Structure 1
């Protein structure tokens, strides 16, 4: 393994040229991709015999990895099915080898040749024609290796040995000490590999390896890379000063031409001469009254096009590159508040305050090369379609490929980008620190051109680990070097990473970690928090979410089962298809989840049956209810200037990396849980909120002899409710509010209220009414209407917990469905809780419900659109109390 055994990462010396070899460039380009992507990979296991036969990859993709190749060759069972994960652990404990051949025509080649590696997973020794040219120990590094003079004229061979990352980590652990982690083998602290590969509380242990990003041969006479088109927008938004910087590898004086074209086809030009002795270049130009990029819901997503040409003195074009550029100004606002302690925490884009409503993203697959561009587009489009505007790239996964950020740019999704440190006490010895610095530079140089990225965060919950383990964390110690303490990674989060951001992407805010508030991780008045006292922690009732809101809730969630259709795909034995089966338990990686899930279901819902279909519906209904309470409570606290008591909420989590029971809104096979639709309704730009409360027991305020515990309080309770409206648009909105109270058993209209016509202020919440009396046998429906009577929003509220609600017989509720092309009309004579539409034919993948699981009330026709639905389709329903 060469220098890998010492923890060093090396690029084997190659002949120097131009500016002293490409290794002198601060980081190699992950963007510019001229030349040929190598493919035709073959693979084999190392260490069995000296003459192990090669296996050809059964695909022609330029990227691959060992698990998918073993699956294609039918040499392992599918780890996603049943309990097969247990049978493939030997894969991660083994060493593997990949190779491919390529041709080089010396007569037609340019003067210089580089082999470019966009990502190797993870502990890799690279040989060109049996000569060692690179050793890499970091999955997140990119490498550009000058191979000029090393290529054969004709056939060449590239071979990469991937050593077991698990064994490598164990060796590092022996050398540098034991560093504790939560989730996964503790040795992962020493290995710069996707941390979720070691297993998480929603994912399996599948330690893959291989060339998971492209390997390219680039041939050139002159080249510029690490191109950064950086528009600095003035405070008044009236002028953008654009700088175009780059690294140069040239052996002659060249001319660099930049032409930036606006969305309305106005062109701006700049030209510079770069001398052959120079290794960097910079051009500048000014764009007056620029057209701006906005997040979804706040404006259009418009882009400028930057065409960059490198010309020889003869006029020959040596290189041509095109980049998109979105112009926007971003601030993380942490200001004092009007009448609450602490400070705000929200993002401002182009001087507009933005409430961040979104989700956390984990890698979309345990086998990264299985993710397609279409997969990324589908997942992110689903997020945008659910009225959410932010995605957090969580720190235990990967820095996602360009297509992820391109789609966020296109859709107007804001990106919270973590650095890849999650749930552990990381080391900071010299070799590790050097690797981390290069990782950060490589990735920031790649990501800085994406306008959707509006914040970098140093880690996920590592400060929580420091608190939990009682590490040396003196907040008043600002020395900047904590490598000699038992919390050495603080140096990474508070010194190395912010300095790299300041140098390479200064317009994007940096946050040391998540959660982090500057004075611990649980202060609800400063910074962001992870609110896990629903599910984890003190396991609070989710109806009390209004007491759990902080300035920015960047994690919270509730577990729910995937669809029965999804379960049937990964549980192959029909006898195992029941809620407590060993296979389903194996696929649930959350410690203690069965008890916690049962607690929240039984505490809140009436459970009449425990068959799989009933349990899936119950867990999904409970998850939807919980997250609705959370979203409503958080958004209610966005109250306008200097009253931004909550600036955002990011649910854990949008997606899954394998078929599992988890906190996701969308399961592994793409089925949307009831919570997805509940969040979509609550997160609409125009929405209503209702909160039903029980006043405090008067005895609690009386003399001690009158204080009693809740189970023995026999007093009659008066229930009241509040109602508020959310207007997240940028214009005031005139609305009529209608409130109707229905008897749940009879369906009779008990009371109807019409609030005076009101003007809902833009980009904030407006309180409409408070302390309205309500009987505990009634369900409440509120509707927001335009002045001319068009319904634009609905909300409902039911007595809590739902398990106490007395319901009529399902056959007496008078529910009718009218199925038409592209939609279903729902009518009911009684209030209905969480009516879910579905097709019994599991082979139907062509119907996408735009809404589902809604509450339906008498006198209000509820319409659900469904892409691909046809009149005559067998649409069925289930609802709370239907079984």
Structure 2
């Protein structure tokens, strides 16, 4: 440990890496050079003839892939349009070749030269000046190849052959055997490639390849990398012990200086000496009263700036780098509960219990190199704006690039990070096991400085597959080696991965899989569950979501169509723009989804028309209703210390990877579905919930047996409702609650109840009223108000199913819109369900609706902010029953 001091010091400018394409490395004033990210790629199909012409990439980016290059060259139709996906399958069945040139100046060279590959997709053979220097069969591996002495003085050539991953997998399958998977070709079980490339129930089969992450030439005299700033906080959070570790490559004795600057500009210093024979080092700092990073809604997102300098014995700076580090203490809490069986499952950050409210993330594009930093920022900002605080990086995609996690750190979004094993029975033969071990180490080393990562999970639904296929899964067998069973990958999930996390990122909890719990994967009392008995499974009514809650619901969802504007972009033939067209069916990859979607729409909604606009609205309304029931039911069960009966809910899914019908909240072109706004309202830190039911249903612990509710049940049913408030802030909150019941047909106020000013306890649900009688001809509105009468939150409840609700003629509802600069006010003389605002000019993208799809009640002006809107704009609306 070096000496530690605080105070001001003279700043040394950080070295800036070079990014100059495939060109000569300029002479540097510093003896250390970070080198170049190679670009200027060219490509061609290989395996045809020896004189196939090269094609230059039509961009200068350092990353690329074959589908985008073929599209740029106009050699394939756009697979996102119409049914063109069928026309481009040959691409993934072919081998491809990339190459670039760069200049090396031996006079300016340093002691070491490395070629660094951050990611090659997938079966890659790399040649430097026609010498094979690397064979890679894992898309998630990073490679650092020492190429010292292998460069020509002058022009050099790097060439990469990418073999078809599909054909490679099938060849391995013949040798190693058939391993079952759900979604995609079964041969994907053998190939460490993004599994969604093989097709999923929301995505196409587009088997891309190429240098999808940077390839860099690094030339240096000395270097440190794999820097890890590990902060261990005391129980009372009053002290942080910080260990800064690193790997080193040097041919001389060097000094590593570390300066940590707090958010309030206090500096802490440490120094470590590294001998030329060492391969790494460690230094420690002690920081009193550390300034902590918190998830959104729980405190500030603040960061320590860590400046690291590598110095020669002469004092010359050989390397300089900077990292932003958020300090936080995280824990996965699984404790016994009061009054209920099992144990809790929630996350604690800096000793504060956090209810995790969020979404699942799939890759943002089928072609990963098409994603920009701005795309990640926009998607994650939209998540945060919808009052969500967690994102799950799903196991069938990729370990996302640094920008994704940087934005999560900045926004205060917690990250549930899966390892990339999804929906299959994976092997564990020696070569496969060695590959996934390196994959896990490479990725954990890269990701471990991001404070937003709150948990690692071993896989997605692979334990469900084990149950479904009745594999050898003995939960009492804790031997740690199951390679000889027919569930060999259990060794990966329960032995290899947790040991890697414990070694390289010990402050982050590990969970063997998702779902994973006590007695199997569907135990609602332990661990997390994927609740798909709405939509899949038993296809329960979504009004019964209060019977489906578990300790942590990490997947659930409901499908909804994308916007008409989005459909018009990918369906080029106007004659195909109707709900059951072949093109729209092609863009729906979920098996049987047409029947399921129709089932849920027809069970719940009155559908007066089947044109595209009406069907889009109906599916989006149904999706919004379903997810509202789910969110309210889960959040209600966050009841305070010892009663954390549900610790989180993560909806499937936030986004799309191509234009499709799916469970997403935001469609591929960025249009927000009605469900996005619905969960934004119900997830607010201060919110209300209403649940209408019968005494018989309320008494049940789970969904009723379907035979107990025959179609000719003529008995009279009495309906009751409960009201509760949710305060997810960290302070008690005084509020007034107003409950009003309206006749739906006439708009007459039937009943009004005022609850006196009550104190809503912090970070939990407060039950306000129970078993109040209600007629099925009335709609309920509850409002939360400050003591001086300002409206904070609203909730509404309607008789279910909505298709039975008798509505007045649309012209008699008395709905009035008032359009102002940046604002629309909605008034109504009768209760109105799901008022959706839109611009008559559908081509405009300059107006952002901050809310939409709202329920409006008499005597309550509903104001919707809309940045970019101007008074006089032609704003139109649709609502339930308007057509």
- After superposition, the Cα gap between the structure-2 partners of 1:520 and 1:759, relative to the gap in structure 1 and judged at 3 Å, is same
Whole-angstrom CA distance in 1 between matches of 2:31 and 2:379: 23
- Matches of 1:487 and 1:10 in 2, distance apart? 59
Q: Where does 1:84-163 land on structure 2 (aligned, <5 Å)?
A: 84-163=84-163
Q: Secondary structure at the match of 1:780?
A: strand
Unaligned runs of 5+ in 2: none
For 1:43 and 1:802, the matched residues in 2 are separated by: 56
> Kindly tell me: are residues 28 and 645 of structure 1, through their superposed partners in 2, closer, same or farther at Cα, counting changes over 3 Å?
farther
Contact 1:15 1:21 in 2 (8 A): no
CA 1:697–1:872: 2 relative to 1, 3 Å: closer
Q: Are 2:33 and 2:220, in contact at CA under 8 Å, matched by a contact in 1?
A: no
Alpha-carbon offset, residue 644 of structure 1:
0.2
Cα distance per residue 1:744-772 (max 9 Å; x no partner): 00011111100121100000000000010
CA-to-partner distance for each residue in 1:539-578, whole Å, 9 max, x for gaps?
0000000000000000000000000000000000000000
Deviation at 1:702, TM superposition (A): 21
Quote the Cα distance in structure 1 between the aligned partners of 2:76 and 2:20.
Answer: 47
Does residue 693 (structure 1) correspond to residue 687 (structure 2)? The answer is no
Q: Between Structure 1 and Structure 2, how many residues are aligned?
A: 883
Pairwise CA distance, 1:712? 2.5
Residues 266 and 19 of structure 1: CA distance in aligned 2, closer, same or farther (over 3 Å): closer
User: How far apart are 1:108 and its partner, in Å?
Assistant: 1.0
Please report the TM-score for the alignment, with normalisation by the length of structure 2: 0.96
Q: Distance in 2 between matches of 1:137 and 1:336?
A: 45
Residues 30 and 317, structure 2, Cα contact 8 Å, conserved in 1: no
| Unmatched runs of 5 consecutive residues or more in structure 1 | none
C-alpha distance after superposition, 1:568-605 (max 9, x if no partner): 00000000000000000000000000000000000000
Equivalences for residues 634-645 of structure 1 within 5 A: 634-645=634-645
CA shift, 1:500, in A, is 0.1
Change (3 A) 1:736 1:28: farther
Deviations, residues 194-222 of structure 1 (Å, cap 9, x unaligned): 00000000000000000000000000000
Note closer, same or farther for the CA distance 1:856–1:49 as it changes in structure 2 (3 Å cut). Answer: same
Shift of 1:145: 0.5
Partners of 2:19 and 2:817 in 1: CA distance: 73
TM-score (normalised: structure 1):
0.96
Aligned equivalents of 1:831, 1:9: Cα separation in 2: 65
User: Structure 1 residues 22, 249: CA separation in 2 closer, same or farther (over 3 Å shift)?
Assistant: farther
Q: 1:34 to 1:183 in 2, by over 3 A?
A: same
Q: Indicate conservation of the 8 Å contact 2:298/2:729, yes or no.
A: yes
Shift of 1:493: 0.1
What is the DSSP-based 3-state SS (H/G/I as helix, E as strand, rest coil) of the residue aligned with 2:829?
coil
Alpha-carbon distance, 1:534 to partner: 0.1
CA pair 7-369 structure 1, distance change in 2 beyond 3 A:
farther
Any idea what the Cα deviations from partners look like across 1:707-747, whole Å, max 9, x if unmatched? 98542222222111000000000000001000000000001
Please give the per-residue CA displacement for 1:29-73, whole angstroms capped at 9, x wherever unaligned. Answer: 999993200000000001111100000000000000000000000
Compared with structure 1, are the counterparts of its residues 729 and 27 closer, same or farther at alpha carbon in structure 2 (3 Å cutoff)? farther
* Contact 2:391–2:414 (8 Å) recurs in 1: yes
Question: 2 CA distance for matches of 1:223 and 1:80?
Answer: 44
Q: In 1, distance between residues paired with 2:27 and 2:452?
A: 22
Rounded to whole Å, the distance in 2 between the matches of 1:620 and 1:732 is 35
Using the TM superposition, name which of 8-17 and 333-342 deviates more: 8-17
- Aligned to 1:679, the other structure's residue is in SS state helix
Hey, what does 1:767 align to over in structure 2? 767
Whether contact under 8 Å (1:11, 1:145) holds in the other structure is no
The Cα of 1:832 is off from its aligned counterpart by 0.5
4+ aligned runs moved over 4 Å, structure 1: 1-33, 697-709
CA deviation map 1:296-320 (0-9, x unaligned) = 0000000000000000001110000
Q: Look up the SS of the partner of 1:320 in the other structure.
A: strand
Deviations 1:486-540 (A, max 9, x none): 0000000000000000000000000000000043100000000000000000000
Q: Is the 1:14–1:146 contact (alpha carbons within 8 Å) kept by the matching residues of 2?
A: no
Structure 1 residues 684, 289: CA separation in 2 closer, same or farther (over 3 Å shift)?
same
Determine the C-alpha separation between the residues in 1 that align with 2:708 and 2:567: 47
- Go from structure 1 to structure 2 and tell me whether the alpha carbon gap of 1:234 and 1:175 turns closer, same or farther (over 3 Å shift): same
CA–CA distance in structure 1, aligned partners of residues 455 and 628 of structure 2: 26
Mark the CA change 1:144 to 1:14 in structure 2 (over 3 Å): closer, same or farther.
farther
Tell me, yes or no, if the aligned pair for 1:7 and 1:431 is still in contact at 8 Å.
no
**Aligned residue runs from structure 1 range 416-431, under 5 A:** 416-431=416-431
Distance verdict in 2 for CA 1:489–1:703, change over 3 Å: closer
Residue aligned with 2:705, SS: helix
> Could you say what secondary structure the match of 2:424 adopts?
coil
Q: CA RMSD in A?
A: 7.1
1:216–1:18 Cα change, 3 Å? closer
What CA distance in whole angstroms lies between the structure 2 residues aligned with 1:87 and 1:202? 19
